[in-house]
Amino acid sequence: MCFPADALPAVPKIRGAEVDHRHHTLHAADSNEYLAFSASGDRPGGPAVVVLPDVRGLFRFYEELALRFAEHGYDSVVIDYFGRTAGLDARDDDFDFMAHVRQTTQDGVRADTAAAIDQLRTDAPERSVFTVGFCFGGSNSWHQAANGLGLTGAIGFYGHPNRSGMPIGSTPMISRVGAVECPVLGLMGGDDPGIPESEVAPFREALAAAGVGGGIITYPGTPHSFFDRTYQEHAAASADAWQRILDFIGEFG
């Protein structure tokens, strides 16, 4: 998994900021119901964010991240992957998430992401919407850029450009570059043995060759899951990654 249970996103709280937030149920087009978390910014109709978690699904790390986006003015929704297999009940740290990850499908992740996008566009059909994902969610986020959802941009931390079969039905993201419809930003650990530069560089080159805006950034010496407030030694990389996200949203949104 990407983060220990007590991890927090490496984004400082804005002192004095008050953000409306709630847990609620979203309904996908395939009749799936799933638990989501929303946080409201102060830019009605402005850019908004769908957060795609790592393998644990809806989890407090991502709820905290949604709050940080809202503090910067961006409405945000965190989706959960496991409505079809685990229902709507709350889960503790002992939840056997991998048993449910193995049952996720590419079509299901797309449908659940689309439901979150639809919520964000309820009163503003033309608003800019970005996806932001981590690990399993990082590549899931990039895939949504090629799924015809009308996204404005897709951001992924340490997604794998060559993973296939998880979710079920997925193909390597690098093979879908020609279908990408929006800018893509990747934020990668330079010391991530599971996703070495030999895997990252061809993806970076393929996106550039296809004229896809954004870019794939690798932070030398950082591990998988470096974007964690407890990793003080990687604070500079995390701060740069956060600023790049804000700049990406500002540029394309």
- Output the pLDDT for position 251: 97
Q: What is the pLDDT of residue 89?
A: 86
Question: Rounded to 5 degrees, what angle do the CA atoms 173, 131, 240 make?
Answer: 95
Say whether the peptide bond before residue 167 is cis (omega within 30 degrees of 0).
Answer: yes
Q: Is 16 helix (H, G, I), strand (E, B) or coil?
A: coil
DSSP per-residue codes, 28-88: -TTS-EEEEEEEE-S-TTS-EEEEE--TT-S-HHHHHHHHHHHHTT-EEEE--S-HHHHTT
Mean pLDDT of the chain: 95
Residue 186 has pLDDT above 60, yes or no: yes
Q: Burial letters for 73-99: b for 16+ Cβ neighbours within 10 Å, e otherwise?
A: bbbbbbbbbbbbebeeeebeeebebee
Interval 41-54 mean pLDDT:
96
First to last CA, the chain: 31
Q: What is the pLDDT of residues 118-130, one digit of tens each?
A: 999 999 999 999 9
pLDDT for res 137: 98
Residue 1 predicted with pLDDT over 60? no
Pairing relationship of beta strands 75-78 and 33-40 according to DSSP bridges: antiparallel
pLDDT in tens, 187-203: 999 999 999 999 999 99
Mean per-residue pLDDT, 88-102 = 92
Domain ranges, ordered by start, for the chain: 20-252
Q: Which CATH superfamily includes the segment(s) 20-252?
A: Alpha/Beta hydrolase fold, catalytic domain (3.40.50.1820)
Q: Is the pTM of this model over 0.85?
A: yes
Q: Please indicate whether residue 1 or residue 197 has the higher confidence score (pLDDT).
A: 197
CB 153 within 8 A of CB 184: yes
Amino acid 156: pLDDT: 98
How is residue 72 written in tokens?
């910067």
